Amino acid sequence: MNNISALFSVLLFSSSLIAAPVSAQQAAEAANTSEPAAAGDTAIKPQPLKIDEIRRFVAVFRAVQQAYVEPVEDSELMQAAIRGLLTDLDPHSAYLTADELASLSEFASGSYAGLGLEVMQQPDRTLVVISPIDDTPAARAGIQPGDIIIEIDGKVIDADSADEAVESMRGEPGTRISMTLMREGESEPISVSLTREIIRVDSVKSRLLEPGYGYLRIATFQSDTGAEVKRHVARLQAEDHTLQGLVIDLRSNPGGLLNAAVEAADAFLDQGLIVSTRGRVPTSKAEYRAAPGDLLDGAPIVILENGGTASASEVLAGALKDHHRAVVMGSVSFGKGSVQNVLPLDNGDAIKLTTARYYTPNGTSIQASGITPDIHLASDLVVKHSGYTPPSIREADLPGHLDNDAPATVGTQNASDIDDFAIREGLNLLKGLAVYRRAASAPGAAGIDNDNDNEE
């Protein structure tokens, strides 16, 4: 019974993890940008497990110990039980081994060994590509959002091998890996061969599209992205002292760190709410607000998005859209409107747990619905001129996804006659906005009245 007793100790411990670690982490993150919790808030006390539930678990655990066709270590059963507890919650909560935790930290820092591929498990446990990261082996091999990975190195991916398949994408630089993909619209599987390399993700790139108009590509949100956004905008302004507008490209940006997205949004907002988060833990109820100062001094912004625009990138798009600070162009974004926290365990492993939903400045949740563009680019024309295939899987398609508790009711302008690549269309729109701004008596676009409720 020693192993069983230890098992219940861990289970009870894991059920109480939310209170202290999340509070400490989120309080640190929100120290300078969020409001304190309401005076009456108290920490959530975990409910004790019912004795019948404990007995049922013991019965299953013992049955596996004694009767499974092959012997299984108690530690393996324990890890499987915790994984099941988390993965059945929603698509984003997970158990992380020490190696997986290290990989996650490497990705957030912008340097790791692998392919540069963001994937997610489907209901049948096959792997769907959310997006390849710019200038990585995956992007150079032509892998597209929506591709389904069915084999890696000749091994078919099934329910038992999906986790192993994800891990196999990482490895020593210079080693090769082969994949077989299914792609919408293709009748035959596609085979690709890739070479692993050190992925150093430049999360931000920039260039002048033509005199007076800049282009900012944000590929992912990592620890230095906010500072990089400011550096690149300053570089564009130094290169062209008459910068009249900016295209921000968030297409196929899978997201990343919430604080990085907040810092990027703050760079273009002079005041007001950027994003709020709400969950069951009091300190998950945070508000992130802009500090005075707009790097572009109100010059117009066009944001490009698509079905691969997810998570932190939706925070940026939603903030600038709600403040009427940017016009959003493209197709509906992925719709991941939840926040995950990584909570370390005493054995070096960790759990990644969904602790809150986030809300745009207007109080809208984009969970399972996405950011609706102001101007919708017809997808068949985008494919024709860019070669980009929209992903077939979005947050709303994932099993166990969180419901949307505050949906938007915003209409869109259809631009079905658009016949050019999205960046060019963004530039054309930017020029029109710049002309209007010069002609208008009041500089800049209208902000949000944060003292009143907004209705569309």
Catalytic residues: 311, 322, 336
Buried b / exposed e along 246-284 (16+ C-beta atoms within 10 A): bbbbbbbbbbbbbbbbbbbbbbbbbebbbbbbbbebbbb
Q: What is the dihedral of CA 232, 233, 234, 237, to 10 degrees?
A: 120
Element containing residue 286 per DSSP (H, E):
strand 286-289
DSSP secondary structure string, 261-273? HHHHHHTT-SSSE
Helix axes 225-239, 258-266, angle to 10 degrees: 30
Counting DSSP H helices and E strands in the chain, the numbers are: 12, 20
Q: What is the dihedral of CA 370, 372, 377, 382, to 10 degrees?
A: -10
Question: Pick from 157, 167, 274: which is nearest to 226 by CA?
Answer: 274
**Cα gap 56→312, rounded to integer Å:** 40
**Cα gap 416→419, rounded to integer Å:** 8
Query: CB atoms < 10 A from the CB of 218, how many?
Result: 26
Main-chain dihedrals φ then ψ at residue 444, nearest 5 degrees: 80, 175
Distances 54 to 4, 8, 80, 95, 392 between C-alpha atoms, Å: 10, 8, 17, 21, 41
Element containing residue 102 per DSSP (H, E):
helix 98-109
